[in-house]
C-alpha cells in the first residue's frame, strides 16, 4: 500500500483552473498558475491577518519587500551552498554518531524518535542556532501543541509563548558572539529581530525538515527499487532527493492576498481576494509531470514546487536536502536491509498538523548486507 501524499480533499484529485472555495477565496492547483501567483509578489501579497501566529513569526514569512528583502539578504549567506559545504562534516558526524547507536535486531525502532528528530535538532538548533540540544524534547512538545489541529487556541498561545521566551533567553546570551547565527545576525539587526528570526527558523525549518525526511524515507521504503538506486548509484542521489520532495509535498499550501484585480488561468480574481496555492497539486500536475503518481529517479524535468517559488522560496532548502540525503545515505549504507515494521501505513500518516508527514516510522534493522 502506498501513502497518500495529497490532502484529503476531492478538489485536489485533478488539476483545474483556479476556482472559488468561498465568496472571496480561491484555490490554485495547476503548476503554471501556481508559479504565476508565487512569482508575482507585487500583485499577490504575503501580508495578511493571521491570528494563529504571534507578531514575531510574521516578521519574515508574512512580509513583503522591502522588509522581506532586508531579512532575506541578511540570512542568505547562512544557508548558501558555501555554508552547507562548511557544515557538511558536522552533519555527517552527527548522523553517523546516531546511526552507530541504533538498535539492531528483531525489535522495531522508531526512526523519527531515535534518528530523524535528533539529527535535525542537533544540526539546526544546535550547530546553527546555538540552542541547547538537550532541550529537544521540550521544543518538540511546544511545536506539537502549536501545530496540532486539536489544540485549543489557549494551548497554542501558551506553547508559543513558552518557546519564544526560551529563544529570547538563548539569543540574549549570544550577543557579541559570532559563533552561531543569532550572534552574527545581531551585528546587523536588533536582539529582538534576532530572536524573532531564530524562532521562525525553529517553527518553519525544524518541523518541515523532520517531516520531509520522515515521509521521504517512508516513501523510498515503499519503493525498494528507487531505494536501491539511491544506495548503489551516488550520481543519482540528488535526482532522487528532488523527486522525493516533489512526490511527498509536505507543505499543503501557501496563502496570498490579491492586491489588485488580476487574471490567473483565465479566471478574474478581485483585489482583496484570498488565494490558496496547493503545492502538492501543482507538483502532481500531469501537464507538467508525466505520470506524476510515480516516484521515479529517471524524471528528466522536475520543476517541483515542494519548496515554493519566487521570493519566498524556502530559504533553508539546501539544508533540508543535505539533512535528508545524509540521513538516508548513512542509514542504507549501514543497514541495506532496513524494512518497515508496520503494515498499516495509513495509521502512520499525520494529517492533523500544518504539514503532511508521519507521526512514527517503525523499522527493523539488520547488520547483514544484501548483495549488490
pLDDT digits (tens, 9 = 90+) for 113-151: 999 999 999 999 999 999 999 999 999 999 988 888 788
- Statement: residue 186 has pLDDT above 70: yes
Cα distance between the two ends of the chain: 26
pLDDT at 52: 63
Identify the burial level of 257 via C-beta atoms within 10 angstroms of its C-beta, where 0-12 means exposed, 13-18 middle and 19 or more buried: middle
Scanning the structure block, which residue is given the C-alpha cell 512538545? 141
From CA 16, how far away is CA 236, in angstroms rounded? 33
- Statement: residue 228 has pLDDT above 60: yes
pLDDT at 351: 60
Q: Which CATH class is domain 10-364?
A: mainly alpha
From CA 185, how far away is CA 178, in angstroms rounded? 8
- Statement: residue 277 has pLDDT above 70: yes
Scanning the structure block, which residue is given the C-alpha cell 507538483? 283
pLDDT at 343: 78
pLDDT at 26: 96
pLDDT at 57: 72
Among 126, 130, 245, which residue's Cα sits nearest to residue 184? 130
Alpha helices in the chain (DSSP H): 31-39, 55-58, 67-76, 81-100, 111, 117-120, 136-147, 153-172, 181-185, 191-200, 207-221, 224-232, 237-248, 279-282, 317-334
Scanning the structure block, which residue is given the C-alpha cell 544557508? 79
- Statement: residue 307 has pLDDT above 60: yes
From CA 54, how far away is CA 192, in angstroms rounded? 14
Taking the complete model, does pTM exceed 0.85, yes or no?
yes
The structural domains of the chain, with segments of one domain joined by +, span: 10-364
Q: What is the pLDDT of residues 283-302, one digit of tens each?
A: 999 999 999 999 999 998 89
pLDDT at 14: 61
Out of 42-46, 82-86, 154-158, 238-242, which region has the weakest mean confidence (pLDDT)?
154-158
From CA 143, how far away is CA 224, in angstroms rounded? 32
Amino acid at each position: 500500500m502506498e501513502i497518500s501524499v495529497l490532502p484529503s480533499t476531492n478538489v485536489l484529485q485533478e488539476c483545474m483552473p483556479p476556482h472559488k472555495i468561498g465568496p472571496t477565496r480561491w484555490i490554485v492547483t495547476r503548476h503554471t498558475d501556481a508559479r504565476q501567483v508565487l512569482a508575482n509578489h507585487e500583485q499577490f501579497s504575503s501580508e495578511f491577518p493571521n491570528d494563529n501566529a504571534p507578531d514575531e513569526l510574521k516578521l519574515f514569512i508574512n512580509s513583503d519587500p522591502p522588509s522581506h528583502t532586508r531579512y532575506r539578504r541578511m540570512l542568505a549567506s547562512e544557508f548558501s551552498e558555501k555554508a552547507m559545504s562548511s557544515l557538511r562534516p558536522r552533519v555527517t558526524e552527527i548522523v553517523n554518531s546516531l546511526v552507530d547507536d541504533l538498535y539492531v535486531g528483531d525489535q522495531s525502532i522508531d526512526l523519527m524518535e531515535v534518528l530523524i528528530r535528533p539529527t535535525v535538532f542537533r544540526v539546526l538548533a544546535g550547530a546553527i542556532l546555538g540552542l541547547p540540544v538537550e532541550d529537544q524534547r521540550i521544543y518538540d512538545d511546544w511545536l506539537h501543541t502549536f501545530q496540532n489541529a486539536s489544540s485549543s487556541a489557549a494551548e497554542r498561545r501558551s506553547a508559543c509563548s513558552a518557546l519564544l521566551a526560551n529563544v529570547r533567553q538563548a539569543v540574549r546570551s549570544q550577543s557579541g558572539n559570532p559563533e552561531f547565527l543569532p550572534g552574527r545576525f545581531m551585528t546587523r539587526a536588533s536582539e529582538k529581530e534576532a530572536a524573532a528570526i531564530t524562532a521562525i527558523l525553529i517553527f518553519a525549518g525544524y518541523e518541515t525538515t523532520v517531516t520531509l525526511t520522515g515521509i521521504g524515507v517512508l516513501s523510498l521504503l515503499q519503493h525498494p527499487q528507487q531505494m536501491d538506486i539511491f544506495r548503489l548509484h551516488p550520481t543519482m542521489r540528488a535526482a532522487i532527493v528532488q523527486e522525493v520532495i516533489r512526490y511527498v509535498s509536505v507543505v499543503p499550501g501557501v496563502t496570498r492576498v490579491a492586491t489588485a484585480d488580476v487574471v490567473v488561468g483565465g479566471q478574474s480574481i478581485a483585489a482583496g481576494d484570498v488565494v490558496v496555492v496547493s503545492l502538492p497539486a501543482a507538483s502532481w500536475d500531469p501537464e507538467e509531470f508525466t505520470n506524476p503518481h510515480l516516484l521515479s529517479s529517471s524524471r528528466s524535468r522536475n520543476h517541483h514546487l515542494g519548496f515554493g517559488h519566487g521570493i519566498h522560496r524556502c530559504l533553508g532548502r539546501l539544508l533540508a536536502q543535505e539533512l535528508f540525503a545524509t540521513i538516508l545515505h548513512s542509514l542504507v549504507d549501514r543497514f541495506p536491509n532496513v524494512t518497515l515494521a508496520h503494515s498499516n501505513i495509513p495509521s502512520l500518516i499525520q494529517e492533523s498538523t500544518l504539514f503532511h508527514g508521519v507521526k512514527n516510522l517503525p523499522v527493523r534493522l539488520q547488520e547483514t548486507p544484501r548483495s549488490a
